[in-house]
């Protein structure tokens, strides 16, 4: 009786990470925050290669620029999604740079929302 249970747990441990999407939230979205940007970040797959893409958010008028309170990244893929890393800026600053990295042989398909006040 122990072996079928162990096999079931092993299969679940193997399958669940591949089904999880890579959604991220840096900071906290407050009730008085404005959506500063909503952009789609995508790059097509290429067989055998890891795809990377850099996303840069800058505000045009630096004197009246709002402060970022949160950055939300939503992965549009259900499996084999790209990872996102906040390289610079982010909550508490006026701009942000994100780097997306796909799994080998897969593309990038994410939505970035930036909130601030």
Q: What is the pLDDT of residues 16-59, one digit of tens each?
A: 455 556 899 999 999 999 999 999 999 999 999 999 999 999 99
Every domain of the chain and the residues it spans: 21-116
What's the pTM value of the predicted model, to 2 decimals? Answer: 0.79
Three-state SS annotation for the chain: CHHHHHHHHHHHHHHHHHHCCCCEEEECCCCCCEEEEEEEEEECCCCCCCCEEEEEECCCCCCCCCCEEEEEEEECCCCCCCEEEEEEECCCCCCEEEEEECCCCCCEEEEEEEEEC
15-26: pLDDT as tens digits: 445 555 689 999
């Amino acid at each position: 009786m122990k072996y079928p249970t162990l096999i079931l747990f092993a299969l679940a441990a193997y399958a669940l990470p591949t089904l999880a999407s890579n959604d991220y939230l840096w900071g906290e979205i407050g009730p008085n925050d404005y959506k500063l940007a909503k952009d789609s970040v995508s790059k097509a797959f290429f067989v055998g290669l890891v795809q990377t893409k850099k996303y840069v958010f800058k505000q045009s008028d630096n004197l009246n620029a709002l402060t970022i309170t949160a950055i939300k990244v939503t992965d549009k893929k259900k499996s084999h999604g790209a990872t996102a890393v906040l390289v610079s800026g982010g909550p508490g600053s006026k701009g942000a740079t994100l780097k997306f990295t796909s799994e080998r042989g897969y593309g990038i398909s994410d939505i970035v929302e930036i909130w601030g006040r």
